[in-house]
Structure 1
Amino acid sequence: MKILVINPGSTSTKLAVYEDNEQVWRKSVFHSAKDLSVFHHINEQYEYRRLHVTEALREAGIPLCFDAIIARGGLLKPTPGGVYRINERIKHDLWHADMEHASNLAALIADELAASAGCPAFIADPVVTDELCDVARLTGIPEIPRISIFHALNSRAVSRNYAARIGKKYEELNLIVVHLGGGISVSAHHYGKVIDVNNALNGEGPFSPERAGTIPARQLVDLCFSGKYTYQEIRKMLNGRGGLLAHLGTTDVPTIVRWANAGDKKHKLVLESMIYTVAKQVGAMHVALHGQTDAVILTGGIANNKYCVALLREWLEGIARIVVIPGEDEMGALAMNALGALRGELPLQEYNPH
């Protein structure tokens, strides 16, 4: 099976071609700040990005002949995880999404190319994957329900990877997946469904290299009405300029570890505090699984850092087996989902947001 993968980010568009499980071509097309400056909204980049994709394929001598094209899922309305064939509803909701992100263009480009190639176009496990159990949705303020936004694609991919490694199916296990990146998500996977997870984008759960995580509500309200900050500045504190960056002026975890190892007390304390908030969230997800956790999987870029992994192990050893699958492979995960759908191993979901 020949599969094209399309994954747009803020300043690049990643492309890859797979033959079954093997990656046979990969390219990252970088978009300069000057090129992007002429666009005021993400949707305006559609034709620009699409042309870069087709040009990259043409330059590589790759004909538009695939068994499937799969794209990174954008900021759709909440929907269960899985593989979705791109339809008009998906395209409409991405084109009119409440939040702008380059990933919203991925399915639109994939669908157009797939029409020319005569093959299906898919998305899989978008960040808005929502399978929360009912009791996990409510907060003490009815107007503010909990929202599921997390690293769904990588979290489910490493879960399937681990299950296959031990000769089980993902749907047979209770797992806690800790994705350690610029944002941090800790998700409870109960027999193939993510029944609880912190909102890794909008201020919930652990603080991370650039996000503030859960903040004492009254103090945040006081800050909002102090007159010192604008609405946009407060939002940046929560997502973009919070976490390690707010405390230490950097998101570079290896550098922070070097300072901590050199005896700098502030760097050591802030880093250990972040890891502590992660460990507490793992404890919460262990409760969500009724204390029946088969394994805790550590993944994402920070899982490459032995110092941080060792700190987490100190807190988590008593919960369940700890498995480290560092980094993330979004391209491989998307290809794996497309291949599973083509082979009939993964059911095709119908996008019907609630």
Structure 2
Amino acid sequence: MNILAIDPGSTSTKIGIYRHGELVKGCIRHPHAEIESFPRVMDQLDYRLAALEGYLAEQGDTAAFDIVVGRGGLVRPVPGGTYLVDDLLEADLVRGVSGEHACNLGGVLARRVADRHGVAACIVDPPVIDELWPPARFSGLKGVERTSMFHALNQRAVALAVARELGRGYRELNLIVAHLGSGITIGAHRQGRVVDVNNGLNGDGPFSPERTGGLPLIGVLRLLEKGSCSIDELKVVIARRGGIFSYLGTVELTEVEERIARGEREAAQVFEALVYQVAKEIGALAAALDGEVDAVLLTGGLAFSQAFTGALAAKVSFVAPVLIRPGEYELEALVEAGVRVLTGVEQAKRYGGSHEDRP
């Protein structure tokens, strides 16, 4: 089986090439300034496709693939699983029906490459998987519902891997999984279902390197009232120019730590606030699970920072044992789904394109 996995992030495109039973991973870095030059995420398509093709050529890997699997994007709420990228799914990815994010490029890039090889393109466990239980949907304002949007692919992959390590079934455990990257989402995994999670893209939960997280609503309304920014500009700030970037002008936690080491007080305060807000979200989900938590899992790029995970573990270890799994396991999850489809263990689903698809 020959499988290509594509995982677009805010400033990178991760690549997985699976041949002869071996997965080789790589990463294309996209300078922040270049990414910022595109008004919309989907405007990056040709830029990213050229970078992907250049990467494959540099690797000398131009042989045919049997399937191309991309990271799922912000389509309409759906049950978990693997979905064929057809015209309807691609159209909703291009439109960004549930929001703008680099992950929307995953399925479209996969289809562009797959078409050239004459094979199927799929996405797996998109961020809009919706398994919230009823109390988690209430926002406090009738007509405005909390929605499920999170790093579903990586959170599930890490949760499944840890369950195997513990010799337990995923559906036997209650886990809190914190994906700590350019965006931060923290989910309550209750016996195999993500029953509560913050929508990190739309301004919910803790701030992150580039996202604002939850904001004081009256303060935001005053910004709009003063004409400091338009609604469209504010959406960009919430998703791409908030968080650490808004305070310190960088999205790199390593740079923040270097500035702290040089004695920069504001950098130390922002770092402490980041730890504080993530810990508070974990504590809130512990309460949502009635305190019945088997483990707290820390994953994502920020989990490589021992200073960050150490400070965070010190605040939340009272909840449950803290297990650190740095990085992302999304490429592995994409390849595993491709293997399941090619071997007939799983049949790729057809996307319905309706909110009624939500379980």
Q: Please report the TM-score for the alignment, with normalisation by the length of structure 2.
A: 0.84
In the other structure, the counterpart of 1:267 is 267
Structure 1, gaps ≥5 residues long: none
Pair 1:52–1:263, CA change in 2 (3 A) = closer
* Separation in 1, partners of 2:268, 2:319: 25
Identity %: 40
Contact 2:14/2:25 (8 A) holds in 1: no
Give the aligned partner of residue 195 of structure 2: 195
Q: CA deviation at 1:283?
A: 1.3
Native 8 Å contact 1:68 1:121 kept in 2 = yes
Return 313-322 or 126-135, whichever deviates more.
Answer: 126-135
Is 1:181 aligned to 2:162, yes or no? Answer: no
- Structure 2 match to 1:299: 299
Q: What is the 5 A alignment of 1:161-180?
A: 161-180=161-180
Aligned-residue CA RMSD in angstroms?
3.2
Distance across 2 between alignment mates of 1:65 and 1:256: 43
Q: Give how far 1:162 is off.
A: 1.0
Counterpart for residue 125 of structure 2: 125
- Are the equivalent residues in 2 in contact too, given 1:21–1:335 (CA < 8 A)? no
One-letter amino acid of the counterpart of residue 238, structure 2? L
Q: Tell me the SS of whatever aligns to 1:320.
A: coil
Distance in 1 between the 2:51 and 2:178 partners? Answer: 34
Quick one: structure 1 residues 108 and 172, their matched pair in 2 at CA, closer, same or farther if it must change by over 3 Å? same
Distance 2:39 2:264 in 1: 43
Structure 1 residue 67 and structure 2 residue 66: aligned?
Answer: yes
Please report how far the alpha carbon of residue 53 of structure 1 lies from its aligned counterpart in structure 2 after TM superposition. Answer: 4.8
2:323 & 2:347 partners in 1: Cα distance?
A: 27
Separation in 2 of the partners of 1:323 and 1:115? Answer: 41
Looking at structure 2, the residues matched to 5 and 28 of structure 1 have their Cα atoms a distance apart, in angstroms, of 13
Note the alpha carbon deviations across 1:151-193, whole angstroms, 9 max, x for none: 1121111111111222223232211111111221111112222
Counterpart residue identity of residue 219, structure 1: G
- CA deviation string 1:276-312 (max 9, x = no partner): 1111111121122232211110011111111111211
Please give the residue correspondences for 1:273-312 in structure 2 after superposition, counting only pairs within 5 Å: 273-312=273-312
1:246-257 matched pairs, under 5 angstroms = 246-257=246-257
Match for 2:316: what amino acid? L
Distance 2:335 2:243 in 1: 33
**Letter matched to residue 66 of structure 1:** F
Q: Which of 258-267 and 200-209 deviates more?
A: 258-267
Task: Give the superposition deviation at 1:47.
Answer: 6.1
SS at 2:202 equivalent: coil
- Give the distance between the partners of 1:114 and 1:216, measured in 2 at CA: 45
- C-alpha contact (below 8 Å) 2:122/2:348 kept by paired residues: no
1:227 and 2:189 are equivalent in the alignment: no
Q: TM-score, normalised by structure 1?
A: 0.85
User: Which residue pairs with 1:80 in the alignment?
Assistant: 79
The gaps in structure 2 that reach 5 residues or longer are none
Task: State the aligned residue count.
Answer: 353
Does the CA contact (< 8 Å) of 2:12 and 2:27 recur in 1? no
Change (3 A) 1:230 1:162: same
- Corresponding residue SS for 2:159: helix
1:82-129 alpha-carbon deviations (Å, 9 max, x no partner): 222333431232233334555434323433544564544321122222
Is residue 2:95 matched to residue 1:89? no
Contact 2:159 2:177 survives alignment (8 Å): yes
Q: CA deviation at 1:2?
A: 2.1
Q: Distance in 2 between matches of 1:175 and 1:124?
A: 21
TM-aligned CA distance change 1:344 to 1:282, over 3 Å: farther
CA distance in 2 between partners of 1:309 and 1:23 (Å): 28
Alignment correspondent of 2:338: 338
